[in-house]
Amino acid sequence: MGDVLETEPDTGRVLHMGGLTRHRRGPAAARDLEYAVVDVETTGLDPREGARVCEIAVVRMRGDGAVLSEFSTLVDPGVPLGGQEFHGIGASDVVGAPKAAELVDVLAELFSGAVVTGHNLDFEGRFLAAELHPAGLPGELPGLCTLRALRAQVDLPRYSLPRASHALGGHWPTAQHTALGDARACAQLLAELLANAPGPLHYTGPEPRPLEFPRRQRAVGKTRTPWSGPEGVRAARANPERPPASWPPRWRELELDFRSCGGRFDADQRAAAERAAGQRALARDALAGAAVLTGVLAAAGAVRQAERGLRRIARRG
């Protein structure tokens, strides 16, 4: 899981970001969708500066929290391994691991028909666009960033994956700074977000679609976890690691626009997003009032029309 950069990346080649809302209906109820929660560990923060993926994991889950399958593998980045103070992956660990481009088929299968999800998904999207998309990973996939969704829906002092998990669910994620550990923690957070929402949440992005991929022979995965088979894929688990916890009442009365909840989301950005939410609420109230007034005027007009008709009938009689 990477840190937030000062500038927002262009991930549009791979991901079409959507959001969650409880105030207007999106294309689908969020709990009715499936999600492919992805996390990467990398040699640096920015592929434009030579950073590459050195571990990737995907947790495929339903909106009700049931985990369907998991995938995890170390990746040979082909460059010196930086960032070891965070992910702890050494040069010897990636010997025999697949290259990122060799993972296109298995990732396309896991992403097929799902919303690609991550905590600070802009970070993962940057590396998917730089390494996987040129190798054949389909583009314009529906995306959901749980960091943005939390900022838009819940009022917290900090929104990092471990701090949000502890503040809301009462638990610290395990195996932090491993791709699978962070993907599992993000999946758990998403399950709790959907289960605890004060109203139905709808996903506002494009609907998930089946993906076509050539089904070439998959690369042999290499993982840090003892359950791994030759492809680094684990069969479905009936439930997440723990049932969704009940969250404390920290939901925002006025949800924020997820598009304004990226970057570092400092005090000024948060205040601007809250002001914009208030202005949207006023506009919605004004539209609702105008609709009511229009209905009243239309009803009054219908009554007057009916009265004129009755008078004409009475004159003819």
Does 38 share its domain with 136?
yes
Does 32 share its domain with 180?
yes
| Among 35, 37, 38, 42, CA closest to 3 | 42
Say if residues 193 and 150 touch (Cβ distance below 8 Å). Answer: yes
Residue 85 maps to a domain: yes
Task: Give me the residue label for tokens 């439930």.
Answer: 239
Does 305 share its domain with 223?
no
Task: Give me the residue label for tokens 């949440």.
Answer: 201
Rounded Cα gap, residues 222 and 93, in angstroms: 9
Does 88 share its domain with 216?
yes
Q: Which domain holds residue 299?
A: 266-317
- Tokens standing for residue 260: 């304004």
Does 147 share its domain with 295?
no
Bridge partners (DSSP) of residue 53 are 42
Does 75 share its domain with 216?
yes
Give the amino acid at 83: G
Rounded Cα gap, residues 298 and 317, in angstroms: 29
Rounded Cα gap, residues 131 and 133, in angstroms: 6
Query: How much is the pLDDT for 93?
Result: 93
Query: How much is the pLDDT for 275?
Result: 93
- Tokens standing for residue 314: 């009475």
| pLDDT tens for each residue of 29-74 | 999 999 999 999 999 999 999 999 999 999 999 999 999 999 999 9
Does 111 share its domain with 196?
yes
Does 26 share its domain with 170?
yes
Does 180 share its domain with 310?
no
| pLDDT tens for each residue of 210-249 | 998 777 666 778 887 654 444 444 544 434 456 788 999 8
Q: How far is CA 228 from the centre of its chain?
A: 26
| pLDDT tens for each residue of 96-145 | 999 999 999 999 999 999 999 999 999 999 999 999 999 999 999 999 99
Say if residues 38 and 116 touch (Cβ distance below 8 Å). Answer: yes
Query: How much is the pLDDT for 213?
Result: 76
Q: How many CB atoms lie within 10 A of CB 232?
A: 27
Residue 5 maps to a domain: no
Does 294 share its domain with 194?
no
Question: pTM higher than 0.75, yes or no?
Answer: yes
Residue 2 maps to a domain: no
* Size (the chain), residues: 317
CA separation, residue 57 to residues 11, 236, 255, 273, 298 (Å) = 19, 15, 30, 32, 58
- Where helices occur in 18-117 by DSSP H, the ranges are 84-87, 104-111
151 pLDDT more than 60: yes
